[in-house]
Homo-oligomer: A and B are copies of this chain.
Amino acid sequence: MRIAVVAPSARFSEEAAERVTAIAARVQPEVEVHFHPQCFLTHNHFAGTDEARADALVEAANDPSFDAIWFARGGYGSCRIAEAALARLGPAARGKTWLGYSDAGFLLAGLYRAGFANLAHGPMPQDAMRDGGEAAIERALAWLAARSPAALEPGLEPGARHAAFNITVLGMLLGTPLEPDLEGHVLLIEEVSEHMYATDRALFHIAASPAMQRVAGIRLGRVSDVRPNDPDFGESAEMVVRHWCERYGIAYLGPADIGHDSANKVVPFGLLGSL
């Protein structure tokens, strides 16, 4: 199996790539993880210019010698290239497996909207730099190479459709050409490094959007590294999600084992049985 890593968002590092290569050699020796040279470009905040990031994504996606596209990391930047890059994808792209989360959610959303069948929310190469990050990389590779059931978020239900997103990213793609139809889906959400008031506001935006009121329900992953609120916000992430779900008639279905951490489990988009 050949996996191409591209970086449509923020800067990536050689060090993270070396760690991933070493882990892959040990746990999935039959897998080749190819880091596109674009991963190591830098342009301001980003892993290269918009053009360079889009071109690398399109090149790797349309190359039939790769079986999967693995997004290097999140941060910010994929919404700047997503719509135009996805329009350039050909048949070889459609057959591939795609994996990422956080800012990569803009791309997963657009791909899901376009009918791509093998998409998942889960660990990315940059997670190799986290405490305990080796387990995240092993989990991602186990899913990419072998569809290991142990890699999956444990609450996924056979026969149900799922999708997973960062809360801010989901809010920012609603109403845009990247928004997928999530009617009937169990929606798993998570957040990192935001003030609780901003998460509350983003959840108003999501829950008050008619399309989101057609999901089967919401499960809440980890909301971590919450920025200080002065005065204290006084409500936990679970209280906030329950509030907005109740307010707009969305079923709250409990916690989810996803988040910006090494324990982040894999959530395939769509019917669980289809992967």
The chain A residues found within 8 Å of chain B, CB to CB, are 11, 42-45, 76-77, 79-80, 83, 168, 171-178, 197-198, 200-202, 204-205, 208-211, 229, 231-235
Given A80-B204, A233-B45, A235-B44, A175-B174 contact (CB < 8 Å): yes
Known pairs A172-B204, A208-B177; A231 contacts B45 (CB<8 A) = yes
B205:A172 contact, CB within 8 angstroms: yes
Minimum distance in angstroms from A172 CB to a CB of chain B: 4
Q: Are A202 and B234 interface neighbours, CB within 8 A?
A: no
Residue of B nearest to A76 (CB): B197
A168–B168 alpha-carbon span in the complex (Å): 12
Tell me the smallest distance from the CB of A75 to a CB of chain B, in Å: 8
The smallest C-beta distance from A173 to any residue of chain B, in angstroms, reads 7
Partner of A205, one of B44, B175, B204, B233: B175
A-B contact pairs, 22 of them (CB 8 A): A11-B231, A44-B232, A44-B233, A44-B234, A45-B229, A45-B231, A45-B232, A79-B205, A80-B200, A83-B208, A168-B201, A172-B201, A172-B204, A172-B205, A173-B205, A174-B174, A175-B208, A175-B210, A175-B211, A176-B208, A176-B209, A178-B208
Q: Closest CB-CB distance, A18 to chain B, in whole Å? A: 21
* Whole-angstrom distance between the Cβ of A146 and the nearest chain B Cβ: 35
A238 to chain B, nearest CB (A): 16
* Chain B residues within an 8 Å CB radius of A229: 45
User: What's the nearest-Cβ distance from chain B to residue A61, in Å?
Assistant: 21
Copies of this polypeptide in the complex: 2
Residues on B with beta carbons closer than 8 Å to the beta carbon of A45: 197, 229, 231-234
Q: Which B residues are CB-close (under 8 A) to A172?
A: 171, 201-202, 204-205
Partner of A76, one of B201, B209, B210, B235: B201
Determine which residue in A172, A173, A211, A232 has the highest number of CB atoms from chain B within 10 A of its CB, and name it: A172
Measured CB to CB, the nearest residue on chain B to A201 is B172
Give min CB distance, A213 to chain B, whole Å. 11
- Of chain B, the residue at the smallest CB distance from A77 is B197
Q: Which single residue of chain B is at the shortest CB-CB distance from A83?
A: B208
A209 contact set on B, CB distance < 8 A: 175-176
| A243 to chain B: closest residue by CB | B80
Give the chain B neighbours of A83 by CB distance below 8 A.
208
With a 10 A CB-CB cut-off, give which of A76, A178, A233, A234 has the most chain B CB atoms: A76
Q: Please provide the 7 A-B residue pairs with the shortest distance between their CB atoms, ordered closest to farther.
A: A44-B234, A176-B208, A172-B205, A76-B197, A175-B209, A79-B204, A175-B175
